[in-house]
Amino acid sequence: MVHYSSPRLDLSFAALADATRRGIIERLGRGEASITALANMFQMTLTGMKKHVQILERAGLVVTRKVGRVRTCALGTRGLEAEAAWIEAHRKLFEERFDALDGIISELQQEEGDGSAG
């Protein structure tokens, strides 16, 4: 079996696999927020939110900056083009396979219908 590895995709998909992190991305899409505000919004500890933000930062999806005692989060500068392209390529592959399967099922149904008519 061929194994394809893309560390960037792995980091992105791992980061986005968690509902809280997807929620953070969604919230930051509306504007910057402090880690404290995010922790309050998601009803979690500051330590827990910091861990989520670190994972998103490692994936390049979020950037943080510290001003005084406040760490502010914003969406990262890179988009999700590579991830979207990967998903689209695999969506097309599955669609082609399901279309082929539909064709086989139709053929079998026609053969079954022809055989019972005699």
pLDDT in tens, 77-111: 887 888 888 888 888 888 878 877 888 888 888 88
Q: Which CATH class is domain 7-75?
A: mainly alpha
Bridge partners of residue 63, in order along the sequence: 74
Instruction: Report the distance separating Cα 30 and Cα 72, nearest Å.
Output: 14
- Report yes or no: 76 and 63 within 8 Å, Cβ to Cβ: yes
Q: What is the pLDDT of residue 98?
A: 83
Please give the backbone phi and psi of residue 43, each rounded to the nearest 5 degrees, phi first.
50, 55
Parts of the chain with a pLDDT under 70: 1-5, 115-118
- Report yes or no: 27 and 56 within 8 Å, Cβ to Cβ: no
Tell me 108's DSSP state.
H
Q: What is the pTM of this model?
A: 0.73
Q: What is the pLDDT of residue 118?
A: 47
Strands 33-34 and 62-67: unpaired
Count of C-beta atoms within a 10 Å radius of residue 83:
17
Three-class SS state of 105 = helix
Q: What is the pLDDT of residue 93?
A: 80
What lies within 8 Å, CB to CB, of 27 at 6+ separation is 33, 38, 41
Q: What is the pLDDT of residue 27?
A: 97
Q: What is the pLDDT of residue 1?
A: 47
Q: What is the pLDDT of residue 5?
A: 62
